[in-house]
A = this chain, B = another copy of it.
Amino acid sequence: MFDLNPYLAQKQALINGFLLNALQSEPADSRIVQAMTYSLMAGGKRLRPVLCLAASEAVGGSAESLLGVAAAIEMIHTYSLIHDDLPAMDDDRLRRGKPTCHVQFDEATAILAGDALVTLAFQMLSIVTGQTPPQRQLEVIRIVSQAAGYQGMIGGQMMDMESEGKPLTLEELKRLQAMKTGALIEASTRTGAILGGGTPDQIQRLEVYARNIGLAFQVRDDILNIEGDPEIMGKATGTDGDRKKSTFPSRIGLNESKTYAENLVHDALHALEVFDNKADPLRGIAHYIIDRKK
């Protein structure tokens, strides 16, 4: 039986080491680097970079050679959290149990730290290591930038802002979440599969896997916002209801949402059936996504 926890711990340590190293080239007294480091090292789950590494391993590729790409994806994720937390956006003061970036520093620094992280991410993706053909590296930049952009993550956040107080249909909600959360999760998995040398069929199956766990992740997030423990989660709960946000529980009910998340994970696991035990970490992550308490 595969045990996900040591796998996650080992990969998180690799990713954290790489991220810290990437920011250590600058004098530590630089306020912008302090803010970037603060948010980047605030104890995230590293779901996206782990997915990238695990997808590579699932198709027989290495994890270590992808650390730069995985770290870049985590930088993009962190930048999106910093900007989403801003007063003009979701106005969140707590994230991962710590003051959000604009609370710890100030608004201007938070905006610039986010800007700096997304830019550094693309700088890292452009570094030629000799391990990847340049065409493939350009393809990775294209995939990640598209997923992060206005047709993906940013477009989803925009829809989310515009829909506050306006009920969405279930289809609109799925589309919003596919853009806001799903796009970068899919991109993480897909780039891992491509860089790991996956066949077109393997890449396509891993995309199906990622699409399903990405949506399950968001459904679980909505459930945790209702019945999660704020202490474990490190952030306030009940906020979706306060903001009258459309969520899966508000659309289809709490119990239906749980069943829906389970079905999505079932579909994700089904897409992995042709893979051998090298895909066990991906299977473990799929289970983790609906079992997690934070």
Residues of A participating in the B interface, judged by any CB pair closer than 8 Å = 26, 30-33, 36, 83, 86, 88-89, 106-109, 111-112, 114-116, 118-120, 122-123, 125-128, 133-135, 137-139, 141-142, 145-146, 148-151, 154-155, 157-158, 161-162
Query: Contact between B126 and A142 (Cβ–Cβ < 8 Å)?
Result: yes
Query: Contact between A126 and B106 (Cβ–Cβ < 8 Å)?
Result: no
CA distance A149 to B127 in the complex (A): 15
Query: Contact between A122 and B122 (Cβ–Cβ < 8 Å)?
Result: yes
Query: Contact between A145 and B122 (Cβ–Cβ < 8 Å)?
Result: yes
- With A31-B158, A126-B145 given, is the CB distance from A26 to B151 under 8 Å? yes
Query: Contact between B119 and A158 (Cβ–Cβ < 8 Å)?
Result: no
Query: Contact between B138 and A120 (Cβ–Cβ < 8 Å)?
Result: no
Query: Contact between A123 and B146 (Cβ–Cβ < 8 Å)?
Result: yes
Chain B residues contacting A157 (CB-CB under 8 Å) are 112
- Apart from A30-B155, A122-B141, list 14 A-B contacts with CB within 8 A: A33-B150, A86-B111, A88-B106, A89-B108, A109-B158, A109-B161, A115-B118, A116-B155, A119-B154, A120-B145, A120-B150, A122-B122, A123-B149, A127-B142
CA distance A111 to B108 in the complex (A): 11
Chain B residues contacting A123 (CB-CB under 8 Å) are 141-142, 145-146, 149
Output the residue of A33, A89, A118, A158 with the most chain B CB within 10 A. A158
CA distance A157 to B114 in the complex (A): 13
Q: Nearest residue in B to A91 (C-beta to C-beta)?
A: B108
Query: Contact between A135 and B128 (Cβ–Cβ < 8 Å)?
Result: yes
CA distance A138 to B130 in the complex (A): 12
Identify 15 residue pairs between A and B in the complex whose beta-carbon atoms are under 8 Å apart, listed by A's number.
A26-B150, A30-B150, A31-B162, A32-B150, A83-B112, A111-B111, A112-B150, A112-B154, A119-B149, A123-B145, A126-B145, A128-B138, A128-B139, A134-B134, A141-B141
